[in-house]
Amino acid sequence: MNMGLKKNGKVWKTAVPLALGGVLLVSSGMSAMAGTSGYEAYKAALKQQHTVQSVTADVKMVLKDNSQPLWQAAQHVKLDKAGHRASGEVELQEGAETERVAFFAGAEEDLVFKNSTEETYYVVSEDERAGRKHHRESGKEGGPTAEELEGIVDALAGGLKQQMTLETKPDGGSQVELQLSAAQIPPAVQALGALALKYAGDGEHRHAPGKEGLPAWFGGTEPDLPALTQDIRIESFRLTADIAPDGMLQGQVVELKVDGKDAAGAEHELALTAQVALSGHNATAADTVELDGKQVRTLDLHGDGRK
């Protein structure tokens, strides 16, 4: 559902490593919660969500350093799996800079982007998309099986048994919650989180040049993430998910806090909050755009003159 943000690679070099720890913790928590009502309710909601043919998602992410906002992102996405279409708007904010980009996509159709500050519609042709997809698929090796992934999750889980709680709401729905302190987080997850943050704070990796010929906004905005080098530790993690009376996932919030010091010994507390609200289950229609009579430019994603 994040087709628009996939193109903003520089931005996610910071947000993704922070979120990595959260993903690992969610996986660990779900494994640890096996056999509890909270786990069963959450797992059932995720399975039911997978069967949904269309949905509207509103996603918000905020990254802070010592309580000061570094970077924010918001997405409003309409996904129609049955109709093979998606559309939405992505807003990225870093300091005083804000970018707002709309996108439209369909099977066997061009992928279209439009920045709110321009009249031009930027198009990635279906042929190029297909060629890039073929290149990726032909070059990748087989990933781990479901059983192998489950084994990794079990190893990460450690002693996190019975940590997810389940609360029934007055409307018949439910809320599940997993809350972990630093002492409850498995050492393997702590080590992976520290490694990811060191990589994210490395200026050599953060300042990759954009491709020639692409509009400046296409690379996204890049947060000025502090380069943590020592005493890096995940301090807390919290997952809250709301489930409707019919068992459908309505949304969830992930909160992750990480402490560490930079090379000068200055302390930093990084806090990432990600909120997802889901609506329009099996009743969402993606928007389309008519390009006739509009300013259109074809994007060359190779950056070397090829189309």
Q: Is the pLDDT of residue 103 over 60?
A: yes
Residue 69 resides in a domain: yes
Contact 225, 200 (CB under 8 A): yes
Please return the burial class of 81, using the count of CB atoms within 10 Å of its CB with bins 0-12, 13-18 and 19+: middle
Contact 243, 250 (CB under 8 A): yes
Alpha-carbon span 244 to 40, nearest angstrom: 14
Tell me, what's the pLDDT at 153?
47
Reported confidence tier of residue 223, pLDDT bands at 50, 70, 90: low
> What's the mean pLDDT when you consider all of the chain?
77
**pTM, to two decimals:** 0.74
- From 8-17, 71-80, 109-118, 251-260, the region with the lowest mean pLDDT: 8-17
Contact 38, 29 (CB under 8 A): no
Reported confidence tier of residue 147, pLDDT bands at 50, 70, 90: low
Residue 20 resides in a domain: yes
Q: Is the pLDDT of residue 305 over 80?
A: no
Q: Is the pLDDT of residue 104 over 90?
A: yes
Return all residues near 274 (Cβ < 8 A) that are at least 6 apart: 19, 22, 59, 60, 61, 253, 254
Residue 306 resides in a domain: no
Cβ density class 247-257: b for 16+ within 10 Å, e for less: ebbbbbbbbbb
Residue 303 resides in a domain: no
Q: Is the pLDDT of residue 139 over 50?
A: no
Q: Is the pLDDT of residue 53 over 50?
A: yes
The number of domains in the chain is 1
Tell me, what's the pLDDT at 31?
44
DSSP notation for 171-202: TS-EEEEEEEEGGGS-HHHHHHHHHHHHHHH-
Alpha-carbon span 307 to 302, nearest angstrom: 8
The residue ranking higher by pLDDT, 138 or 216, is: 216
Tell me, what's the pLDDT at 138?
47
| 55-99 residue pLDDT tens | 999 999 999 999 999 889 999 999 999 889 999 999 988 878 888
Q: Which residue has the tokens 């399975």?
A: 47
Residue 221 resides in a domain: yes
Return all residues near 129 (Cβ < 8 A) that are at least 6 apart: 111
Alpha-carbon span 143 to 151, nearest angstrom: 14
Tell me, what's the pLDDT at 109?
77
Residue 305 resides in a domain: no
Tell me, what's the pLDDT at 259?
95
| 248-279 residue pLDDT tens | 999 999 999 999 999 999 999 999 999 999 99
**What's the token pair of residue 163?**
């940590």
CA distances from 135 to 2, 128, 132, 138, 210 (A): 21, 10, 5, 5, 21
Tell me, what's the pLDDT at 195?
86
Residue 146 resides in a domain: yes
What is the domain range of residue 62?
5-298
